[in-house]
């Protein structure tokens, strides 16, 4: 993986990124993909503090547990 | 895969005749319950899927002289069999072959909605698409070309508002059209999966060759298998190991060639299809400004103010429910300020007091009538002391359960629920639970029964079962009632009393959290802490019509289920107290008392040798407030506080006993609910044993640590 691919959990608030890879457990990965977080999708990080990360994907807002967010790899976009 | 529409014979459901069977399908938050309620009105009722703990709503409507039986499928994100709800839904579609499926889309989350629609269309073509909340989306600048959409999908599309009841006439007309075969697709919808097509065909052929899954569209099953559907794969393995091997080889080949799991490619293609489709049918999108209410998120989702505000919301909701039901804690507040009159007024007008008054009036009236007709004594006693209080205790549950159901439905409908779950996630994660557990926990403070049922929202089995088994540790209102009386009778001074009450609640929550960590890990072998994934829908003003309906139906189904058993046991209790080996009608010589006396020695460990206490503990199992009633009956005193005070316990004994009473076992209603929710007698008994062990251990520890420290 190239340098600009980082875990979603490290993205600052109000930043945008593109999903590269999801590598959590099968069930959780599929749930997220079904909610629209497939590789290539643009994601906006709404909130990233303590606790779950809040993102906007395809017009809906999703809260994702922090442990899960460590396993979602994204590419920053400027 | 098309049902015969010329079939004019009436179909049956639970003895009722209807012309057409209609399924209603949607993702969560699309407004499906509102649509269901609008369509079926008063005919709708809440039950369970046969043999499952998944809620099932059914109802009817009549249009153009035809009776339509509507089954509301659970709100699900997809038709994979990841959850019980999804499994139930797709089996229903395949087995029952409804005459039409209404797929409700959320105009505010179009992409996700269309993704779901495509999955239904791939399984069955007889679909009517209803786009809900279209008025809201329109006000944000969205316009959908429904005509073009109809042409592309081959099924009718209608823009509606389930809440404002617009577009419903047309929806009903189209349902009739599809059910009678004039509109809709004959075949399932087909999406091309690019490079996977070749593999899909190969699997399809294997399935046909081996005569597997005849009732399903084979292409759909092939896709499901590629998506890693464990249910289908297991079936293949069981029926034909050669076919299973061939399919596994194909999956391995895809993984090798594309360096990706096929599920990823499939979902990607489906979303790509959705994007292309939407780009053709959505005519203009203007980015709307954030509504003022959305600013609430900056407080609710903040890691510091979030948990505080969420706690406040839940706490005020529960206090509201408590105050209406028993007057607590408002009566205490007024009493401590010196307003005795107001405190009494609140208590007397609380629902539980009004209901118990009604029942005592009925009992007295019955007794006087019976006496004038010379009815036998035991029969009068059975009715007045067994049946009427038994029915009464079931009915006193009803208001609280109804109020709690209403409050929870408001939270759910408004969009607040998922925000509160997020704010509690950090804390609950530490003990192996996700933030969603806060809801069953809060419900349990009112009554463990809705709390146990409320665990249905939890995602993983380990999480859910562990929460169910330990739920009885949460102090419910019935135990609060016992706690208040015992504290008033056995402890003196406002500070001491407050300290005792607070400490019991702290012990309760602590025990729940600690044992959850232990049980999820050791008993249910949870491998990793479940992760929260929850959608935060936009805020909505809840529809009170729908909330009133669903809360009432849910409460009713509880009363029917639990009520019958509670009723039966209250008659048994009465018999145990009424009859005894000797003919003298003395409670102390009844069978109940004799049983209690045999277990009295067990309490010598906390230096209690009075048979009344085990007697009250045994009967308190039926409903915790009976603990007090039993003491009143056995001591022959009139006021509950006097009765408890006459037990002459030391402060330390009192506290140890209090701990025991609070935690020793789930009550009968909770016991029954644990069984009906887990469908496992083993787990139900396990829950009782865990509670008994925790209750006794905690009580004995408190007593002996106190003794060692020099208290008496």
Is the confidence at residue B653, as pLDDT, over 90? Answer: yes
With an 8 Å Cβ cutoff, are A59 and B111 in contact?
yes
Question: Is B263's Cβ below 8 Å from some Cβ in A?
Answer: yes
With an 8 Å Cβ cutoff, are A63 and B108 in contact?
no
Which residue from B111, B422, B425 is facing A36, i.e. has the nearest CB? Answer: B111
- The CA distance from B534 to the nearest CA of chain A, in Å, is 5
ipTM: 0.94
With an 8 Å Cβ cutoff, are A30 and B80 in contact?
yes
Residue B667 region by backbone torsions, left for phi larger than 0, else alpha for psi between -120 and 50, else beta: beta
Is the confidence at residue B169, as pLDDT, over 50? Answer: yes
- The CA distance from B651 to the nearest CA of chain A, in Å, is 43
The CATH 3.40.50.300 domain(s) of chain B lie at: 11-179
Higher pLDDT, residue B401 or B115: B115
Is the confidence at residue B693, as pLDDT, over 90? Answer: yes
CATH of the domain at A63: 2.30.30.90
Could you say which DSSP state residue B291 is in? Answer: P
Q: Which residues from A are below 8 Å from B418, CB to CB?
A: 63
Mean pLDDT of chain B: 87
Which residue from B306, B434, B537 is facing A65, i.e. has the nearest CB? Answer: B434
Q: Which residues from B are below 8 Å from A39, CB to CB?
A: 264, 268
Is the confidence at residue B255, as pLDDT, over 50? Answer: yes
At residue B7 the predicted structure's pLDDT band, cuts being 50, 70 and 90, is very low
Q: Which residues from B are below 8 Å from A34, CB to CB?
A: 77-78, 80, 115, 267
pLDDT digit string (tens) for B529-553? 788 989 998 888 888 888 999 889 8
Distance from C-alpha of B483 to C-alpha of B479, rounded to nearest angstrom: 6
Residue B102: CB atoms within 10 Å:
28
Total tally of structural domains belonging to chain A: 1
Task: Give the domain extent around A29.
Answer: 5-77
Q: Which residues from A are below 8 Å from B112, CB to CB?
A: 35-36, 58-60
Could you say which DSSP state residue B543 is in? Answer: -
The mean pLDDT of B191-212, rounded to a whole number, is 94
At residue B4 the predicted structure's pLDDT band, cuts being 50, 70 and 90, is very low
Is the confidence at residue B584, as pLDDT, over 70? Answer: no
Q: Which residues from B are below 8 Å from A61, CB to CB?
A: 535-538
With an 8 Å Cβ cutoff, are A33 and B80 in contact?
no
pLDDT of residue B5: 41
Q: Which residues from B are below 8 Å from A59, CB to CB?
A: 108-112
Contact predicate B63/B190, CB 8 Å: no
Homologous superfamily of B11-179 = P-loop containing nucleotide triphosphate hydrolases (3.40.50.300)
In DSSP terms, B533 is beta-bridged to A64
Longest dimension (CA), chain A: 31
Q: What fold characterizes domain B194-284?
A: Helix Hairpins (1.10.287)
Phi, psi of B166 (to 5 degrees): -100, 150
pLDDT of residue B115: 94
pLDDT digit string (tens) for B559-583? 776 677 667 777 887 888 788 887 6
Which residue from B77, B227, B531 is facing A35, i.e. has the nearest CB? Answer: B77
| Residue B169 tokens, joined | 């006439």
Chain A / chain B CB contacts < 8 angstroms: 108
Is the confidence at residue B516, as pLDDT, over 80? Answer: yes
Q: Indicate the range of B34-43, B95-104, B506-515, B562-571 predicted with least confidence.
A: B562-571
Closest by CA position to B21, among listed B163, B178, B169: B178
The pairing of strands B20-26 and B100-106 is parallel
Which residue from A22, A60, A67 is facing B112, i.e. has the nearest CB? Answer: A60
With an 8 Å Cβ cutoff, are A62 and B426 in contact?
no
Higher pLDDT, residue B574 or A75: A75
pLDDT of residue B707: 93
């Amino acid at each position: 993986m190239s340098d600009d691919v980082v875990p979603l959990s490290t993205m600052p608030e109000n930043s945008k990124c593109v999903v590269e890879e999801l590598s959590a457990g099968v069930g959780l990965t599929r749930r997220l993909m079904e909610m629209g977080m497939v590789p290539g999708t643009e994601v906006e990080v709404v909130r990233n503090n303590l606790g779950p990360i809040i993102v906007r994907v395809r017009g809906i807002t999703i809260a994702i547990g922090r442990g899960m967010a460590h396993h979602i790899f994204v590419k920053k976009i400027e | 895969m098309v049902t015969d529409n010329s079939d004019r014979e009436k179909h049956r459901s639970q003895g009722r005749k209807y012309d057409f069977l209609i399924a209603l399908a949607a993702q969560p938050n699309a407004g499906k319950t509102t649509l269901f309620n609008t369509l079926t009105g008063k005919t709708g009722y809440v039950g369970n899927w046969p043999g499952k703990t998944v809620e099932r709503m059914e109802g009817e409507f009549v249009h153009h002289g035809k009776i339509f039986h509507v089954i509301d499928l659970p709100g699900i994100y997809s038709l994979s069999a990841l959850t019980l709800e999804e499994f139930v839904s797709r089996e229903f579609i395949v087995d029952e072959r409804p005459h039409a499926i209404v797929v409700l889309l959320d105009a505010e989350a179009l992409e996700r909605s269309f993704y779901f629609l495509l999955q239904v269309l791939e399984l069955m073509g007889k679909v009517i698409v209803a786009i809900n909340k279209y008025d809201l989306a329109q006000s944000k600048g969205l316009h959908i070309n429904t005509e073009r959409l109809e042409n592309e999908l081959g099924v009718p599309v209608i823009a509606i508002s389930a809440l404002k009841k617009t577009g419903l006439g047309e929806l009903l007309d189209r349902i009739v059209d599809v059910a009678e075969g004039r509109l809709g697709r004959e075949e399932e919808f087909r999406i091309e999966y690019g490079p996977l097509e070749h593999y899909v065909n190969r699997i399809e052929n294997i399935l046909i060759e081996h005569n597997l899954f005849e009732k399903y569209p084979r292409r759909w099953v092939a896709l499901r298998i590629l998506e890693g559907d464990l249910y289908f794969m297991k079936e293949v393995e069981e029926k034909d190991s050669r076919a299973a091997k061939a399919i596994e080889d194909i999956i391995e080949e895809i993984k090798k060639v594309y360096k990706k799991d096929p599920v990823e490619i499939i979902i990607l293609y489906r979303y790509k299809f959705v994007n292309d489709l939407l780009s053709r049918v959505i005519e203009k999108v203007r980015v709307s400004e954030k509504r003022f209410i959305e600013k609430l998120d900056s407080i609710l989702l903040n890691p510091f103010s979030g948990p505080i505000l969420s706690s406040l919301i839940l706490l005020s909701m529960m206090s509201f429910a408590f105050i209406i039901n028993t007057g607590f804690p408002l009566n205490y507040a007024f009493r401590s300020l010196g307003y005795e009159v107001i405190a009494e007024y609140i208590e007397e007008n609380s629902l539980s007091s009004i209901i118990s008054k009604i029942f005592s009036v009925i009992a007295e009236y019955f007794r006087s009538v019976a006496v004038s007709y010379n009815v036998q004594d035991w029969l009068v006693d059975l009715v007045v002391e067994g049946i009427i209080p038994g029915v009464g205790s079931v009915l006193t549950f009803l208001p609280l359960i109804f109020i709690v159901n209403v409050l929870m439905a408001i939270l759910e409908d408004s969009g607040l629920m998922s925000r509160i779950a997020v704010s509690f996630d950090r804390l609950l994660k530490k003990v192996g639970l996700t933030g969603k557990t806060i809801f069953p926990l809060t419900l349990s403070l009112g009554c463990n029964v809705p709390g146990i049922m409320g665990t249905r929202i939890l995602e993983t089995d380990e999480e859910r079962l562990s929460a169910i088994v330990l739920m009885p540790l949460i102090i419910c209102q019935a135990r609060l009632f016992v706690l208040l009386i015992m504290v008033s009778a056995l402890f003196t001074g406002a500070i001491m009393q407050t300290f005792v009450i607070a400490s019991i609640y702290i012990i309760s929550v602590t025990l729940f959290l600690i044992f959850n960590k232990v049980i999820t890990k050791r008993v249910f072998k949870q491998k990793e802490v479940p992760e929260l994934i929850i959608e935060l829908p936009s805020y909505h003003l809840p529809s009170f019509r729908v909330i009133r309906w669903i809360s009432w139906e849910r409460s009713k189904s509880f009363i029917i289920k639990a009520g019958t058993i509670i009723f039966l046991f209250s008659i048994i209790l009465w018999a145990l107290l009424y009859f005894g080996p000797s003919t003298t009608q003395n409670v102390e010589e009844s069978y109940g008392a004799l049983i209690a006396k045999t277990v009295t020695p067990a309490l010598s460990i906390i230096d209690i040798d009075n048979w009344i206490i085990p007697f009250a503990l045994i009967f308190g199992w039926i409903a915790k407030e009976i603990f007090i009633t039993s003491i009143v009956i056995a001591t022959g005193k009139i006021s509950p506080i006097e009765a408890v005070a006459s037990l002459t316990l030391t402060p330390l004994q009192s506290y140890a006993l209090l701990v025991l009473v609070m935690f020793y076992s789930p009550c009968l209603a909770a016991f029954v609910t644990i069984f009906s929710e887990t469908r496992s007698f083993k787990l139900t008994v396990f829950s009782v044993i865990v509670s008994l062990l925790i209750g006794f251990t905690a009580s004995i520890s408190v007593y002996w640590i106190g003794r060692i420290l020099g208290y008496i």
